[in-house]
Every structure is written in structure tokens, then in C-alpha cells.
């Protein structure tokens, strides 16, 4: 066990617990305001929870709340490095001195700190930029230096808060590969909105919603069989939750969804999930008949272009259709239409 | 650079023409007296007037005391500004207003207040007397008077710079393992250095021009407490030409100080 976090922050409606094992990278997913940054803040010692406990490598960093010891280790003494969206390189120091800052603060002699800094700059592939001031670096370069700086501080836990969110898409693949390399075997938490980050960088995923953990598991499992609306949206899937009855998922609204059962079949009356790709949904103006198909009568709420397709939203469901199809059907917001999906395109599994 | 080029290319929204009239009158009101001083200078004796014994003593005393009070302002004003800018506590707003009081207080009142604090019959007078220290009417009193009136300039300038810089870099530095002293020394101070410099320059300028508090608290003893403004005031009665010459010296020093302040603002 490397990191143990449990915290209640009433003001932000956060009440969650999570763990990160030694050498593991955990991706934290969730919509804005779901408590991701608050959780990182509690671990970093920047946010004091109303009640909570943070233990890193057996050392108690925070232990507050009724009947607790009241331990609150200062942020600089926690050995938790936090890297955000913006690199925030110190503007008055060059890249090398920025990276050497952590080792220097830990008491390393100047020469040793610089040698370390060079090694870390090399590790993230920007050794040739060591003499540059932050103002002379591109966004991607600056974020690489910031990664090197965080690593050079040799934190017991590295926390990345949407590290790629503010960067140009052109530099993302290379930087993602770099992160993948430096995060391997390292205890880390990555907050992200990108399912690719979760798959490539993290071993495990935790999904937060409204300040609580709603779903967790190995990255690939969570993204291929999401159980929360947010994870489904990230994975680009339609999600219908309901109760397993008579070989179909029955929703609260009385909708029945048939599909192929994945894994252990749900028991009758148990909560179950059905997911399907938007591209597998066909859209009709009138009701359709035919047993292999699931048909839902919906009201179109939004139509948006999506690359060479058109995404048709109807409440929580969406369908991707070709531009021609959208034009022929004359789809407009407010239209009542039928979404139809073959049972063979729907995955059904237990909700827990 | 980029910003400057952009302003040149952009065509700003027009100003009402009548606005220029009060603007020009205002500028003339500030500049004309300077011209009057220059016009009044007796150039044939200028060198002798400003190098007389009394003038030189006053000039050096002014420079030395202003440098000392600026140092005191930095030593105490920087920590005050940091506490005001970085800590929220009850009464912070009231404390800030009180600290800035000397900005609006008539200097004579400040001088009286200092006299009743450090003077022989003052609040701390008997304690200081017991230690064998006599503050009032000494060069130390000049420095204290100048520090009293100049301190708010440094605190205001520094606090503004600290608030503008924000705490984001400090948070990053702490997360990299730097303790509070390291963060303050290696991150906070370098980031607000331009603000500190311009604050120090302003404090120096205010010290250099200090008159009311000084004459009340320190008196006017040549070589000990008679600074340049006091010397000018005294000479005005006996030797107006000398007063004008010294006034011009002060104007030149003030202009140099403003130039320095502008430069220091352009550091970052």
C-alpha cells in the first residue's frame, strides 16, 4: 500500500476514499466539480479536509477530524509533487535551474543538483533547452521541463492534474509517450479528461461524480464496460442503466434493452448496464418493427457535426449518422424520432 | 515588443477634443514652477552656492539619512507587506489602513507623534534614557522621521507586487520540497523584485523631501539634523539665491529618482 486517502470536504461536497498501490499509476476521471482537484489538494496538503486521513508509504501526512490526531504535515515536507495544466516554470530561472530547484531545496550542493537536473532534462528529451528561460520555451517544451522538475524532486507520489489539457494537439502524442515512460513503475495519480491518457498512462481508473467514487477498476475494463454515465461518455458509448428482467435491461422509464451478456450474467432483478456505440444506432422518422432490434422513441435535443458524421443527441443517448442520412431525414431539434440498435451491437453486464 | 507594435497598428477610439484643454493646463501647472526655479537660478554663482559648507553638509546628510531610512523601510516594510498580502486575519483591513496612515497624515503631526514616542518625556523616553540613548534632535531622529513617512510607499508598492505575482509559483515551489524560507528567498523575492525596487525608489524620494516631521522631531542642527529641505527653507530668508540653487539640486535628484523608478519597473 503506498497512498491511502480518505477525506470529507463539506464546502466542496467531497466525501471519498481511494488508494494507489506502490508503483501504480491511478487515473482519476470525472466531470468538472466532481472533486478531482480537491482530492489532489488534500494529498498535497493545500486543502485541509473537515475530516480525513492521508498516509503515504506508511507515513501519516494528514489525520484530521473529530477524534483524530490532528496531524497536518506542511506541503513541502510531504514528498508529493504536483504538476498542473500550466507548467508554471519559475520565470526568473532558466530551465536547468528550474529542474535543479527540487534537489537544491532538499539540500543538494549546487553542482550535484545541476547534474541531476541535466539527467532529468535528458530523460524527458529537452536537454538542449537547459539554458533557456521559460519565456523562450513553447508550451510543450515548458511542460516537459515541468515534468523533469517534478521528477527531480524525487517525490514519493507524483500528481499530475490534467498535464496535457492546455497543450497544442500536435505535441500531445510525443509528450504522452514520454509520460508513459516516466510514469512506469512510479507511484502516481493522473487527473484527466482523456480516455487515451487513462488507457496509456494508468493501470487503474477511479471515476468521481459529485465528490464520490462511482466506479473503479483496471483502465481497459472501465473504458470498455463503463458503469457510470461519465465513463461511458469518455469511452464514447451510450449507456443505459436499469434492472435485469426477462433477458433485458429494463429502465425506470420502462424502456427494454436487449443485448449480448458480457461476463457473469446478471441475476433477475439485479442492476444491469447496457452499452452500445453511437455509430451502431440507426435513426428513423417513424416507429420500426422487428425483433432483433431495440427501438427507442426519442426527442432530438441537439445536432452537432462530428468529423465527417453528424452526432444526433436525444437526452442521454446519441447516434452518429452520415451527413447524407441526416439531410435525407431532415433531422431538427425537437423532432420525435426512433433510435434503433441491433441487439448484437449492445453489451449487457452487471452494474457492480 | 509585440505589445508596442500592436498599439501602433491599432487605431484607438477618438478622445473628445475638449479633454486636451484641462490636460494641458494641468501639465503646465506642474511643469511651469520647475521652469520658474530654473529661470530664477543665479548661474554665475551656482557652483559656489551649492558647494558652500552648509549646502554640502545638508546634501550629504540628506543622502545618508535617506539611504538609511530606505534600508529601514526595506527591512521592515517587506515583511509587513508579505504578512498583509499573504495572510488573512481578523483586523487585517484595519491594520492596513493604519499602516498607511502616514501617507495622509500631515508630516508635522507625524513629527509630534514621534516626539511623544521617542522624546525624553515620550512613551519610550524614560526607557531609552535609562539605556543612555537620546533620540530626539539627533541624526537618528532624522532617519526615524523619514522612515515614518516613507514606509507606506514601500509597503503599498510591495503589497501590490505580491498580489499581482500571486501564490501559484510559491505553491509549486513548496510542492517541490522547498521550505517557507527557501520559497521566500528563491521565489517570492525575485518575482517581486521590480516592485521592491520601485517601492524603494519612492521611499528614498519621500525621505529626501521630508521636512515637517524632521523639523518637529529632529530640529535643525547643521551637519546633524539639517537636511537639504530644511537648509533650503532656512536659506530662503537669508540667501534666496542659495535656496534656489539648492532647490534645483533637489529637483535634479528627484528627476533622476523618477527615471530610476521607471527603469526598474521595466525589469521584468
Q: Is the ipTM of this complex over 0.85?
A: no
Please indicate whether, in this complex, the C-beta atoms of A102 and B176 are within 8 angstroms of each other: yes
Does position B236 have pLDDT exceeding 80, yes or no?
A: yes
pLDDT attached to residue A312:
92
CA distance B67 to B61: 10
Please indicate whether, in this complex, the C-beta atoms of B176 and A90 are within 8 angstroms of each other: no
Q: Which residues contact A196 (CB under 8 A, 6 or more apart)?
A: A176
Q: Which residues contact B118 (CB under 8 A, 6 or more apart)?
A: B124, B125, B128, B135, B136, B141, B144, B217
DSSP symbol at B42 = -
Label residue B233 by pLDDT band (50, 70, 90). Answer: very high
Q: Select from B168, B178, B180 the Cβ nearest to the Cβ of A88.
A: B168
pLDDT tens by residue, B188-230 = 999 999 899 989 998 999 999 999 999 999 999 888 999 999 9
CA distance B143 to B227: 11
A334-348, B20-34, B232-246 — most confident range: B20-34
The topology under which CATH files domain A3-224 is Rossmann fold (3.40.50)
Label residue B263 by pLDDT band (50, 70, 90). Answer: confident
CA distance A149 to A98: 6
A325 and A265 Cβ atoms separated by less than 8 Å = no
B190 to chain A, closest Cα gap in Å: 7
Q: Which residues contact B126 (CB under 8 A, 6 or more apart)?
A: none
Sequence ranges of the domains in chain A = 3-224, 237-350
Please indicate whether, in this complex, the C-beta atoms of A76 and B178 are within 8 angstroms of each other: yes
Q: List the domains of chain B with CATH numbers.
A: 68-265 (1.10.3720.10)
If you average pLDDT over every residue of chain B, what do you get?
89
B173 to chain A, closest Cα gap in Å: 8
DSSP sequence for B79-129: HHHHHHHH---TTHHHHHHHHTHHHHS-HHHHHHHHHHHHSTTSTTHHHHH
Collect the ranges in chain A with pLDDT lower than 50.
Answer: none
pTM of this prediction? 0.81
For residues A250 and B125, the model is more confident at A250
- The strand pair at A302-306 and A212-218 is best described as unpaired
Q: Select from B173, B177, B268 the Cβ nearest to the Cβ of A106.
A: B177
pLDDT tens by residue, B173-186 = 999 999 999 999 99
B69 to chain A, closest Cα gap in Å: 29
Buried b (16+ CB within 10 A) or exposed e, A210-225: ebebbbbbebeebbeb
Chain A CA closest to residue B166: A88
Please indicate whether, in this complex, the C-beta atoms of A79 and B173 are within 8 angstroms of each other: no
Percent of chain B with pLDDT over 70: 94
Q: Number of C-alpha atoms within 13 angstroms, CB side, residue A343?
A: 13
Classified as helix, coil or strand, A72 is strand
pLDDT attached to residue A40:
94
- Contact A91/B at CB under 8 A: yes
B195 to chain A, closest Cα gap in Å: 14
Write down the H helix ranges in A184-321: 195-201, 219-224, 229-235
Q: How many degrees, rounded to 5, is the angle at CA A244 between CA A241 and CA A245? A: 130
Please indicate whether, in this complex, the C-beta atoms of A105 and B178 are within 8 angstroms of each other: yes
The crossing angle, in degrees rounded to 10, of helices B240-265 and B228-238 is 150
Please indicate whether, in this complex, the C-beta atoms of A81 and B168 are within 8 angstroms of each other: no
Please indicate whether, in this complex, the C-beta atoms of A75 and B171 are within 8 angstroms of each other: yes
Strand order in the sheet with A59-64: A14-20, A3-9, A51-56, A59-64, A71-72
pLDDT tens by residue, B47-84 = 888 888 888 999 999 999 999 999 999 999 999 999 99
pLDDT attached to residue B268:
36
Label residue B164 by pLDDT band (50, 70, 90). Answer: very high
Label residue B9 by pLDDT band (50, 70, 90). Answer: low
Label residue B1 by pLDDT band (50, 70, 90). Answer: very low
pLDDT attached to residue A31:
86
Does position B5 have pLDDT exceeding 90, yes or no?
A: no
| CATH number for the segment(s) A237-350 | 2.40.50.100
pLDDT attached to residue B267:
44
pLDDT attached to residue A99:
96
Contacts B168 to A, Cβ<8 Å:
88
> Count of CB contacts below 8 A, A vs B?
60
A275 and A304 Cβ atoms separated by less than 8 Å = no
Q: How many CB atoms lie within 10 A of CB B1?
A: 5
DSSP symbol at A285 = S
B178 to chain A, closest Cα gap in Å: 5
Q: Select from A88, A90, A153 the Cβ nearest to the Cβ of B177.
A: A153
Amino acid at each position: 500500500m503506498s497512498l491511502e486517502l480518505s477525506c470529507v470536504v463539506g464546502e466542496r461536497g467531497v466525501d471519498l476514499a481511494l488508494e494507489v498501490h506502490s508503483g501504480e499509476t491511478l487515473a482519476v476521471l470525472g466531470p468538472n466539480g466532481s472533486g478531482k482537484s480537491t482530492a489532489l489538494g488534500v494529498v498535497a496538503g493545500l486543502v485541509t479536509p473537515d475530516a480525513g486521513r492521508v498516509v503515504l508509504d506508511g507515513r501519516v501526512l494528514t489525520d484530521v477530524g473529530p477524534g483524530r490526531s490532528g496531524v497536518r504535515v506542511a506541503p513541502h515536507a510531504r514528498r508529493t509533487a504536483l504538476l498542473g495544466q500550466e507548467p508554471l516554470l519559475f520565470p526568473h530561472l532558466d530551465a536547468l535551474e528550474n529542474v535543479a530547484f527540487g534537489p537544491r531545496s532538499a539540500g543538494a550542493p549546487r553542482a550535484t543538483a545541476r547534474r541531476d537536473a541535466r539527467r532529468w532534462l535528458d530523460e524527458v528529451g529537452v536537454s538542449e533547452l537547459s539554458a533557456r528561460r521559460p519565456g523562450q520555451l513553447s508550451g510543450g517544451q515548458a511542460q516537459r521541463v515541468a515534468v523533469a522538475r517534478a521528477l527531480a524532486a524525487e517525490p514519493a507520489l507524483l500528481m499530475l492534474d490534467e498535464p496535457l489539457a492546455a497543450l497544442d494537439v500536435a505535441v500531445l502524442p510525443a509528450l504522452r509517450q514520454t509520460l508513459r515512460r516516466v510514469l512506469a513503475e512510479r507511484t502516481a495519480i493522473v487527473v484527466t479528461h482523456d480516455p487515451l491518457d487513462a488507457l496509456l498512462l494508468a493501470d487503474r481508473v477511479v471515476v468521481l461524480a459529485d465528490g464520490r467514487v462511482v466506479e473503479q477498476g483496471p483502465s481497459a475494463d472501465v473504458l470498455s464496460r463503463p458503469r457510470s454515465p461519465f465513463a461511458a461518455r469518455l469511452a464514447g458509448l451510450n449507456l443505459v442503466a436499469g434492472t435485469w428482467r426477462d433477458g433485458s435491461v429494463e429502465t425506470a422509464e420502462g424502456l427494454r434493452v436487449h443485448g449480448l451478456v458480457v461476463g457473469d450474467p446478471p441475476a433477475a432483478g439485479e442492476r444491469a448496464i447496457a452499452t452500445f456505440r453511437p455509430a451502431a444506432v440507426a435513426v428513423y422518422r417513424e416507429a420500426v418493427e422487428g425483433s432483433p432490434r431495440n427501438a427507442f422513441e426519442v426527442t432530438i435535443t441537439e445536432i452537432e457535426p462530428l468529423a465527417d458524421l453528424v452526432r444526433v443527441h436525444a437526452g442521454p443517448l446519441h447516434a452518429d449518422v452520415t451527413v447524407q442520412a441526416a439531410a435525407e431525414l431532415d433531422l431538427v431539434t425537437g423532432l420525435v424520432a426512433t433510435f434503433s440498435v441491433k441487439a448484437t451491437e449492445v453489451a449487457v453486464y452487471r452494474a457492480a | 515588443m509585440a505589445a508596442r507594435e500592436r498599439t501602433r497598428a491599432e487605431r484607438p477610439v477618438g478622445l473628445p477634443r475638449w479633454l486636451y484643454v484641462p490636460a494641458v493646463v494641468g501639465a503646465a501647472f506642474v511643469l511651469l514652477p520647475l521652469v520658474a526655479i530654473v529661470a530664477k537660478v543665479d548661474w554665475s554663482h551656482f557652483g559656489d552656492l551649492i558647494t558652500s559648507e552648509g549646502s554640502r553638509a545638508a546634501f550629504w546628510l540628506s543622502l545618508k539619512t535617506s539611504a538609511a531610512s530606505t534600508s529601514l523601510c526595506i527591512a521592515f516594510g517587506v515583511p509587513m507587506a508579505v504578512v498583509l498580502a499573504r495572510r488573512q486575519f481578523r483586523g487585517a483591513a484595519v491594520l492596513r489602513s493604519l499602516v498607511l496612515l502616514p501617507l495622509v497624515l500631515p508630516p508635522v503631526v507625524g513629527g509630534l507623534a514621534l516626539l511623544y514616542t521617542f522624546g525624553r518625556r515620550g512613551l519610550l523616553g524614560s526607557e531609552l534614557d535609562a539605556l543612555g540613548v537620546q533620540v530626539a534632535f539627533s541624526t537618528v531622529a532624522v532617519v526615524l522621521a523619514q522612515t515614518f513617512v516613507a514606509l507606506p510607499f514601500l509597503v503599498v508598492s510591495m503589497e501590490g507586487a505580491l498580489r499581482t505575482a500571486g501564490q501559484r509559483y510559491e505553491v509549486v515551489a513548496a510542492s517541490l520540497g522547498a521550505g517557507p524560507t527557501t520559497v521566500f528567498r528563491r521565489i517570492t523575492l525575485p518575482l517581486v523584485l521590480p516592485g521592491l525596487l520601485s517601492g524603494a525608489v519612492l521611499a528614498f524620494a519621500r525621505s529626501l523631501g521630508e521636512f515637517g516631521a524632521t523639523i518637529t522631531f529632529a530640529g535643525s542642527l547643521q551637519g546633524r539634523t539639517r537636511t537639504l529641505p530644511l537648509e533650503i527653507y532656512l536659506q530662503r530668508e537669508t540667501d534666496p539665491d542659495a535656496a534656489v540653487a539648492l532647490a534645483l539640486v533637489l529637483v535634479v535628484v528627484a528627476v533622476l529618482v523618477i527615471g530610476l523608478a521607471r527603469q526598474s519597473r521595466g525589469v521584468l
